[in-house]
Amino acid sequence: MRKLLIPTDFSENALNAIKNAVVLFKYEQCEIFLMHAYIDELYDAKKDHPETEFEALKKEIHTTVELKMDVLLSEVKKFSPNPKHNFIPLLLNGTLIDELNDIVDRENIDLLLMGTLGQANHKNKTFGSNTIQVLKYVKCPVMAIPKGFSSYAAKKLLFTTDFQLPYKRRELKLISTLAKSFVAKIDFLYVSDFKTLSHRQEDNKAFLDSCFRANLTEFHSKQDDDLTHAINKFINEHEIDLLIMVNSRHSFLENILYQSTIDAIGLHIKIPFLVLQNLKR
């Protein structure tokens, strides 16, 4: 049983993430949790109605979002009547990150999916603040899906790696299963000025290879002092459908999430972006 978690603000962007999820996992038995955290809405409403009793206002907000969730579930069932998918609504009076992490731990979530801004929607920014916070702090794999993205077939996957990390078998199995569902090819991209790998890198490369023996794979080594340039070039030249990276301590992704922004360094993602969280679960 695959367990997916999708936060929603009831926008078209969030709906698009659900549409992608039901297609990407159409062959698998899934529990799909649709979660809305409304604490910010509650406090915003309290500022506008200071005379209103807090508990009464909380009940009113909950009723409003409950109706929105009912409408969303009805719409989802229209475009996805898949009997393998069971949708579970969650309306929570808490902050987005705290509630997501609680659900991830409680339900042992395999993957969190969420919509992103997309480059054309906000001053050339690829990811909004919520997406950045989720990528930083939610302790499970996260797939960020650009707004308006509608090419649901994942035929070509790009996995960028420096072979320094002992990847989690569970996360690699998720990628392998997804790739097998669409008979997809997985390209592994290593970008470095060094031509030879260390013993640790060789061992980790061999481990990766062993985890994807049931898949069509190819390993690429590129010499480039600009990793983002190498990634963007590979995506464009090979018509990649899904980019996979790892967020761990001292990784390239951690550096750009904490010290800068993805947008500032030019990693403009126009395709779904799967971030493996190599963190303790």
DSSP characters over 124-137: T-SS-HHHHHHHHH
Residues 191 and 140 in one domain: no
The pLDDT, as a whole number, for residue 278 is: 60
194-220 in b/e form (b: 16+ CB < 10 A) is eeebeeebeebbeebeebbeebebeee
Of the residues 127, 146, 165, the one at which a domain ends: 146
User: Does 151 reside within a domain?
Assistant: no
pLDDT at position 48 is 65
Residue 31 is assigned to a structural domain of this protein? yes
State whether 105 and 235 are in the same domain.
Answer: no
Q: Are residues 167 and 122 in the same domain?
A: no
In this structure, the answer to whether residues 140 and 215 fall within a common structural domain is no
Q: What is the number of domains present in the chain?
A: 2
* Beta pairing partners, 7: 35
Q: Domain of 122? A: 2-146
* pLDDT for residue 51: 63
Q: Is residue 116 part of a domain?
A: yes
Question: In this structure, are 113 and 241 located in the same domain?
Answer: no
Domain co-membership, 134 together with 250:
no
* Any domain includes 89: yes
Single out the residue in 122, 146, 170 at which a domain terminates: 146
Q: Are residues 28 and 7 in the same domain?
A: yes
Residues 171 and 94 in one domain: no
Residue 134 lies in a domain: yes
Of 125, 123, 120, give the one whose Cα is nearest residue 262: 125
Q: What is the CATH number of the domain that holds 35?
A: 3.40.50.620
Print pLDDT tens along the chain (281 aa): 999 999 999 999 899 999 999 999 999 999 999 999 987 777 676 666 666 677 777 888 889 999 999 999 999 999 989 999 999 999 999 899 999 999 999 999 999 999 886 444 444 444 556 787 888 889 899 998 988 787 667 899 999 998 987 788 899 999 999 999 999 999 999 988 777 889 999 999 999 999 999 999 999 998 887 788 888 899 999 999 999 988 765 455 555 554 444 444 445 567 888 988 765 54
Predicted local confidence at residue 157, as pLDDT: 96
138: its two tokens: 């939610």
Same domain, 207 and 237: yes
Co-location of 37 and 168 in the same domain:
no
- Does residue 256 form part of some domain? yes
Q: Tell me, what's the pLDDT at 124?
A: 44
Q: Cα–Cα distance between 171 and 278 in angstroms, integer?
A: 9
Among 146, 178, 207, the domain-final residue is 146
92 located within any domain: yes
Q: Is the pTM for the entire model greater than 0.75?
A: yes
Q: Write down the pLDDT at residue 266.
A: 43
Report if residue 100 sits inside a domain.
yes
162 shares a domain with 132: no
Residue 178 is predicted with a pLDDT of 93
Cα dihedral 122→126→130→134 (10° resolution): 180
Q: Are residues 48 and 178 in the same domain?
A: no
Within 10 A of 41 (CB to CB), how many other CB atoms are there?
A: 16
